[in-house]
Structure 1
Amino acid sequence: MTGDQALRYRSRLFAYSGLHAADRVLIDELLDQRQRSVAPRRDIVSEGEAPRFVHFVLDGWGCRYRQMSDGRRQLLSLLLPGDLFDTNPQVVARMDHAIGAITAMTVAEVSPDALSALAEARVGIAQALWWNDHVAFGTHREWIASLGLRSARERIALLFCEVYFRLRLVGRCAGPTCEFPLTQADLAEATGLTPVHVNRMVQELRRDRLIEWAGRSLTILDLDRLCQLASFTPSYLHLDRTVPMAV
């Protein structure tokens, strides 16, 4: 693995404060064993499929989603660089939702038995996996609360805040700027809105000098105000158990 690859291919687990250097080496070895490239807008694991691997997102953006027979789709969560998901696929006979790529992705496919054995042998890795699951569950709860309680403007502001904090944790932000390759249609599917409504809300956030969003780049111009607007607190991301990974 080259230096540039090592910078890009960092697991979010590496930010967990209880991990030792030896734990990180063991995780790296797992990530190197089997890697897969996924084209944009293709499934990593399809609904109804029997899952076989624990997946680590090495690069690119993905999502969990449910799609109705008429084509309507709801994004259930975003999968960002550094994330890992479905840490115990062996307990599920069939997927009840799909996991798809939004951009081109590189994922590591890890044997669940290998990861379980590592967790049994290394308490720091076991605790990091528990923390990762707590973050995933907390994020799902926050998205449900957002759909039920937040206005359209607040939902979009929350998503911008969440993505920024999650990417900053794994060293993927340059000051107030981070990658943001979602389309307005993606935002609509994540927030339960129409693309027209999303466009209107994004324009309001721009006019209020809270964000700049052009192409695949998001700049948060006033993080405190954006968090206040979204009623965002990072407690559901459990960042109190982490140390930032500097670029």
Structure 2
Amino acid sequence: MKTISLLSANFLLVIFAYSTFISTSAKAQESDKGFLLSISELTIKNGHDVQFREGVKAWKACYIENKGDWTWNMWRRVNGEGNVYILTSRMANWAEMDKTDESGKNCSDIARALINPHVETSEDNFARFMPDYSKAYPNSDQVLWVTSWQVKNGAKFREVVKQMSDATKQAEGSSRGFWYSYMGGSKDAADFFVATPFSNFAALDVDRDNVWDIYEKANGKEKRDQLQAEFRESIKDSWSYLLTREKELSHNPPAK
């Protein structure tokens, strides 16, 4: 994700101590319009990676010991500037932010002592899942190619992406990625992003038709050129990052 306005590293006490963005009930309560995703981007101080990782492991162990039921994924960005981790978790609705978690509170001293000192900057954002455009959850793959867009015309962007997704679903049985629309953010924030999963890095070497070729095979070159022009016209800026899931720093136990 692009670095936007940066919050104090003390927000980690919200995430790792109070776990405000919790709920295993999210999976059961998500509406047709899609769940909410909280996205916390952490830039780690130079030379502090090992200490940060050990701090998160210690907090996770404490949280599990206290029978906490919040689940999250921790991703590490493998390209771009800085040493960046991205923590994501799901909410069924905004009301979940009114909740607190006693298990997280019991581990707040660990977050304060072993995590916060190693974080240089942090940023918090929210996005809503777009199920009609996306692959079905859950995602068990370990690598994500994440492309973000700032757009000039959100309605046109959605329209084009929906046509592309529908063509891909028709050809392959499923969309290739998980689409999200950002909810608010700074003036530099993205408007949309898609996370395309891969089982591992080797899967990136597999040759396959791109989505424009798929659309052309179904609709012809003239329609492809027209849709591609509309897509480009709707976009202000775009960027991509490659992420890998950090299993030891994540918490996704099997459903009981």
TM-score normalised according to structure 2 size: 0.26
- Which structure has greater strand proportion? 2
- Which structure has greater helix proportion? 1
Higher relative contact order (CA 8 A, sep 6+): 2
TM-score normalised according to structure 1 size: 0.26
Q: Larger radius of gyration, structure 1 or 2?
A: 2
